[in-house]
A and B are shown apart, each in its own frame.
Chain A
Amino acid sequence: GQNIDQPTEMTATEGAIVQINCTYQTSGFNGLFWYQQHAGEAPTFLSYNVLDGLEEKGRFSSFLSRSKGYSYLLLKELQMKDSASYLCAVRDSDYKLSFGAGTTVTVRA
């Protein structure tokens, strides 16, 4: 099975940087995904890591350390529209993707 942990809530100021951590223990590992979910909407794909290191996509970056079972999502130059839940998900040894409970980020003016 999978055990995926991330903080429940985080608050930050517009223009600032926020780092959302995710730790995982899995029976197999075939990649880690981050999703964004606005209230009342479906999750949308943000990033994918399968090798150790940092992947950068505009204002969003994601980091992975497989030996530590650890990832983070970094949101830079925060905007009000970034207020959402951020979901960490791990693909195990076959097709299945398991999700953490999500981190609700609130951006304040």
Chain B
Amino acid sequence: IAGITQAPTSQILAAGRRMTLRCTQDMRHNALYWYRQDLGLGLRLIHYSTTAGTTGKGEVPDGYSVSRANTDDFPLTLASAVPSQTSVYFCASSEGQGASPLHFGNGTRLTVT
């Protein structure tokens, strides 16, 4: 089934540890996004990429980094996790601008202790 695959599904991480959340798409969409979702705050954009080789900062980029070496993979790295990064993380893709909606992966639930 075409779509976005995120891994892991959930993770408990000690503060100060490094963690990479994986995102892989098979729809060949140009744009990929990372959002975090917190109760009462909704979905907030962390980083995005409009095409392979380019990335941009979203609303809440601090503490996170991304890379886009190819079309299909868009990993999100937490260099040194802190408890405030406890959240549900969604990777999403779209064909581009205009009417093209975001297609979301199933999310990664991350708890930083």
Q: Decide: A42 and B104 in contact? CB cutoff 8 A.
A: yes
* B102 and A45 contact, CB distance less than 8 A: yes
A42 touches B101 (CB 8 A): no
Does A30 touch B at the CB level, under 8 Å? yes
* Contact A48–B48 (Cβ < 8 Å): no
Q: Are A30 and B98 in contact (CB under 8 A)?
A: yes
Q: Is the interface on chain A under 10, 10 to 19, 20 to 34, or 35 or more residues? A: 20 to 34
Which chain A residues in 17-72 approach chain B with CB under 8 Å?
Answer: 30-31, 33, 35, 41-45, 48, 50
Asked if residues A31 and B90 are in contact (CB atoms below 8 Å), the reply is no
Interface centre among B90, B97, B102 (most CB of A within 10 A): B102
Known: A95-B31, A98-B59. A50 touches B42 (CB 8 A): no
Q: Is the CB of A95 within 8 A of B50?
A: yes
Smallest beta-carbon distance B57→chain A, Å: 10
Question: Number of contacts between A and B (CB, 8 Å)?
Answer: 58
CA distance A96 to B35 in the complex (A): 11
Q: Which chain A residues numbered 65 to 92 have a C-beta less than 8 Å away from chain B?
A: 87, 89, 91
- Quote the shortest CB–CB distance from B103 to chain A (angstroms): 7
Tell whether, in the assembled complex, residue B98 and residue A50 are in contact, meaning their CB atoms are under 8 Å apart. Answer: yes
- A100–B40 Cα distance when bound, in Å, is 10
Chain B residues with a Cβ under 8 A of chain A: 31, 33, 35, 40-45, 48, 50, 56, 58-59, 90, 94, 96-99, 101-107
Binding site for B on A (CB under 8 A): 1, 30-31, 33, 35, 41-45, 48, 50, 87, 89, 91, 94-102
